[in-house]
Structure 1
Amino acid sequence: MLGLLVPLAVLAVSGLVLLWPAAGEDGGWDPTALGEGTTYVSGTVTMVDLRECPDAESSGCAAITVEVDGAEGSLFVPPEAMRAGLAPGDRVKAIGMDAEAASDPAAEAITGGPGEAPPGGAAPDPGDPGAADYVFVDFDRNVSLTVLAAVYALLVVLVAGLRGLRALLGLVFAFGVMLVFMLPALLAGSPAVLVGVVAAAVIMLVVLYLAHGFSARTTTALLGTLAGIAVTGVLGALWTRWAKLAGIYSEETYLLSWSAELSTGDLVVCGILIAGLGVLNDVTITQAAAVWELALARPHARARELFASAMRIGRDHIASTVYTIAFAFAGGGLTVLLLVASSSRSFLESLTLGDLAIEVVSLLVCSIGLVLAIPATTAIAALVVRSGEGVRPRERDRGAAVPGRNG
């Protein structure tokens, strides 16, 4: 097992070093770039008076007061935010003019100052965004999401103990790899498929051992996961090319292809690899644990018998996980599915078009990788757990022989 693991680890780390984006490389666009004299701000809504905006839910309203850095100003809120239930006390993010632009005498001579009518003109229309000091961007969800994340982390630690804490640290590491290595490397123009494979391998090498400890059982699950990643990557690349999924189907893809030298087809494959990581990790670690527990319960069973018993568990796992992936896809794309269902085009035809076709290929390819990873992991585990006579599975993990028996 070490003969397989060490070269794989060396390849993963070597890929990480070779593909690491150089300092200062910038292949993307600046999403925070605004026009001259504007800036992002956070504030608190202090008053919502819709008497001046009877059609606020259909046209928006600029007669809403927001407090930013201790000073109050008017806020234009679009209709979709009004329908979400904007109320006093809500924290919001907005775009506003900076102090220099707001105090520009030339600007005030034209507009008459914030909220005032131009000389000889009528009062500003409360439904006009230009009548407000700030324009609504989104609700400020920093506090609510932080509280939810804290509750989740607390429950994981309380229920799973130290292992849960290690799993959370592994999750932080995984997102660190994606934010520090994978995304910058993609924007720097590195091959997307290679970047995805390297990132997935490095994440699994650290996360599995961190969460489950360094043992033969964890190594078995790791080898099964890497096999699943390889299958998913190969099939993803093949079907992306065969189904011609390298087109530009969304505004985000268009912006990326325009601002950075990215192959949209390779980007699809990279996304498929990352999407399959969590499910692969789940089934392989569970399947390896099942083989170990069966070996403890049946100490005289042969490797073939252990494989057959564990695969009966694995088939149930496959059946449940396949529709779990499908339900996750349906829930994540519910609004898109609603649009498809309300159109005149047939549902099956819509599934073969644009972004939906990419999601379908991702779902099916990840499921195939999962289905093949279970027997691969089970076979490796059955061979490993019965590779030596007179050694119990759990004691083999610790490297200790059973007293009174000879190896």
Structure 2
Amino acid sequence: MNRRDISDDDTGPIRRVTDTPSDRSPGTSRSPRRTPPPEGTRRPRPPAQRPRPAEPGRRRAAEPKPEPEPVGHGHSHGHGPAAPASRRVRLLLMWLLIPLAVATVAGMVFLYPWGKDPAKSVFPQGTPVNATVTGTITGPCLAEGQVQVGEPPPDAKPCLTSELTMTDGPASGKPLKLTLPIEPSTPRFAAGDEVVLSYNGGDVANPASFQIVDFQRGTPLLLLAGLFALAVIVLGRWQGVAALIALGLSFLVLALFVLPSILAGESPLLVAIAGAGAIMFVALYLTHGLSARTSVAVLGTLVSLVLIGVLSAIFSAAASLTGLDDSTSQLIGSLGHGIDARGLLLAGVVIGALGVLDDVTVTQTSAVWELRRANPALGWRELYGAGLRIGRDHVGSAVNTLVMAYAGAALPVLLYTSLSGVGLGSILGAENIAQEIVRTLAGSVGIVAAVPVTTVLAALIASREPQESL
């Protein structure tokens, strides 16, 4: 039968049949399949291998000997890990700063004029009224109803007649004419200017009841303040918001505590110290957070403020500074009672130097902490040396900032004194100029001292902080 004659119809579908052992070609072998041992039986363990004999010329590696188990001691108390250095550091800072904070609060409570009426000027002060200038006319100085006949005298000074419309007060909406002699110190008013009038309480129909005092500056000042706040928030974000809140609280301390207490007759220097302490705690902790770094900056600021106060007191007494400049004399005359003028001078020195000191101490503390974070192996001596090198660059600009700030504030005094025509020594020895010199130099010495003092405190504390808490 031919192979082609067989079909699937005769035999069915052809399936592949595996080879049996008898069908294997000679010379081939196949390992038998291992069957698992029956359940409940244990597999035989392979025979232990004997160590091979060492080859000649080679040494066998010494087998490690088992270490003896440590012998425990009999008492039952446990030895836990030592407390981290940061905890001890924070406890030390708390013991140093909490008494200072309590003393600051106690000083504010003791010095505040509880139950006393707010101080008022003994001279009658007019009620401020807003008005708008609608027109101005320059001509001879004539009272209402007078007419100029002929030419005015050659030495006659012209006057500026301003037509105004009051926008609030007892005569709101009514027109008013006021005449002012044109002097070098007279402000130049023009149509559209918004001004402030002083109303003495007399007849509103009488122009003599009103007097032009100043311009209205509320709108531009608010715009500038908004621009300042926007710049701080854009750059500082949430920390900028905290800085603005701290700034507002600082103004509240000045307006609600420092000014009323000094006007009530309390010691200006003690009031300034208590107020500066409150501003320091609020501004630094609110802006930079509760941390060891901020606490070091607070300590450095406090030490420098004490130094500034001591130097100012010593040298103001040595230079026989009375503090009785023009503005202070006018203040004493308005109060009707005496005030410690020299203490007021020292209070201005302390409060004026506080802002620059905050900048220096915070910068130095942050620099030392960042150095420690970058290289945890640095000891306190290395941290102090590196931080001091950074501080030398900063102190020059800080001192220059303070000097220029005081020089700018005293520029009219400097110009007025230079007109006297006397020598430089006499100019520098004048009361007004000598006050600014003592104020500037005492503050500058405090700023210079703040750098090494804050740096050494920061180095000692940062070197004891664990790396994970930096």
TM bin, normalised by shorter chain, reads: 0.7 to 0.9
| Structure 2 residue identity aligned to 1:220 | V
Which residue is equivalent to 1:61?
159
SS in 1 for 2:165: strand
Instruction: Name the count of aligned residue pairs.
Output: 360
1:42–1:94 contact (8 Å) kept in structure 2: yes
Matches of 1:164 and 1:330, distance apart in 2: 29
**Structure 1 residue 266 corresponds to structure 2 residue 343:** yes
Q: Which residue identity is paired with 1:101? A: D
The answer to whether the 8 Å contact 1:303/1:383 transfers is: yes
| CA RMSD after TM alignment | 2.4
Residue 42 in structure 1 maps to residue 118 in structure 2: no
The code of the aligned residue for 1:16 comes to: M
Q: Which residue in 1 is equivalent to 2:260?
A: 184
Shift of the 214–262 alpha-carbon distance from structure 1 to 2, 3 Å rule, reads same
1:45-89 C-alpha deviation (Å, 9 max, x unpaired): 00122256799xx94635210000211110234535886542111
Match of 1:158 in 2: 234
2:108 aligned with 1:16, yes or no? yes
The aligned residue for residue 432 of structure 2 is 355
Select which of 190, 209, 218 maps to 1:87: 190
Q: Does 1:170 align with 2:243?
A: no
What residue is the counterpart of 2:96 in the other structure?
4
Q: TM-score, normalised by structure 1?
A: 0.82
Deviation of 1:30 after TM superposition, in Å, equals 5.7
Alpha-carbon deviation of 1:40? Answer: 2.9
Q: Which runs of 5+ in 2 are unaligned?
A: 1-92, 142-151, 167-171
Whether the 8 Å contact between 1:187 and 1:260 is mirrored in structure 2 is no
Which range is displaced more, 174-183 or 256-265? 256-265
Secondary structure of the 1:304 match is: helix
Measured after TM superposition, the shift of residue 259 of structure 1 is 2.1
Give 1:97 shift. 5.9
Q: Deviations over 1:130-187 (max 9, x none)?
A: x767421111111111111111111111111111111111111111111111111112
Q: Against the structure 1 CA distance between its residues 31 and 367, is the aligned structure 2 distance closer, same or farther, given a 3 Å change threshold?
A: farther
2:203 to 86, 101, 104: 101
Residues of 2 paired with 1:370 and 1:312: CA distance?
A: 15
Residues 83 and 246 from structure 1, CA distance in 2 versus in 1: closer, same or farther, beyond 3 angstroms? closer
Q: CA deviation at 1:209?
A: 0.5
Q: Which deviates the most, 248-257 or 356-365?
A: 248-257
Deviates more, 1:162-171 or 1:58-67: 58-67
Residue in 1 that maps onto 2:178 = 75
The DSSP-based 3-state class of the residue aligned with 2:203 is helix
Preserved CA contact (<8 Å) 1:76 1:134: no
Give yes or no for the alignment of 1:149 onto 2:252.
no
In the other structure, the counterpart of 1:222 is 298
- The DSSP-based 3-state class of the residue aligned with 2:400 is helix
1:362 to 1:71, Cα distance in 2 relative to 1, 3 A: same
- Structure 1 residue 285 and structure 2 residue 375: aligned? no
**Which residue of the partner structure matches residue 400 of structure 1?**
none
Contact residue 232 and residue 273 of structure 1 kept, 8 A? yes
The SS at the match of 1:4 is helix
SS in 2 for 1:351: helix
User: Partner of 2:129: helix, strand, or coil?
Assistant: strand
Please state how far the C-alpha of 1:204 moved relative to its aligned partner.
0.4
**Aligned amino acid, residue 281 of structure 1:** D
Change (3 A) 1:349 1:82: closer
For residue 316 of structure 1, report the CA deviation from its aligned partner. 1.2
1:60/1:51 CA distance change after superposition, 3 Å? closer
Identify unmatched segments of 5+ residues in structure 1. Answer: 104-113, 115-130, 398-407
Q: 2 CA distance for matches of 1:64 and 1:182?
A: 40
- Corresponding residue SS for 1:49: strand
Measure how far apart 1:253 and its partner are.
2.8
- Does residue 316 in structure 1 map to residue 414 in structure 2? no
The CA distance in 2 between the partners of 1:4 and 1:362, in whole Å, is 29
Question: Quick one: distance in 1 between partners of 2:384 and 2:439?
Answer: 29
Task: Tell me, in whole angstroms, the C-alpha distance in 1 between the residues paired with 2:242 and 2:353.
Answer: 21
* Contact kept in structure 2, 1:196 and 1:273, CA below 8 Å: yes
Contact 2:139/2:160 (8 A) holds in 1: no
Q: Which structure has the larger Rg over C-alpha atoms? A: 2
Residue 384 and residue 78 in structure 1: after superposition, are their counterparts in 2 closer, same or farther (change >3 A)? farther
Q: CA deviation at 1:342?
A: 3.1
Aligned partners of 1:345, 1:282: CA distance in 2, in Å? Answer: 39
CA distance, structure 2, for counterparts of residue 80 and residue 178 of structure 1: 36
Cα separation, partners in 2 of 1:297 and 1:15, compared to 1, 3 Å: same
| Higher share of residues assigned helix | 1
> Which amino acid counterpart does residue 95 of structure 1 have in structure 2?
S
Q: Is the 8 A contact 1:290 1:310 kept in 2?
A: yes
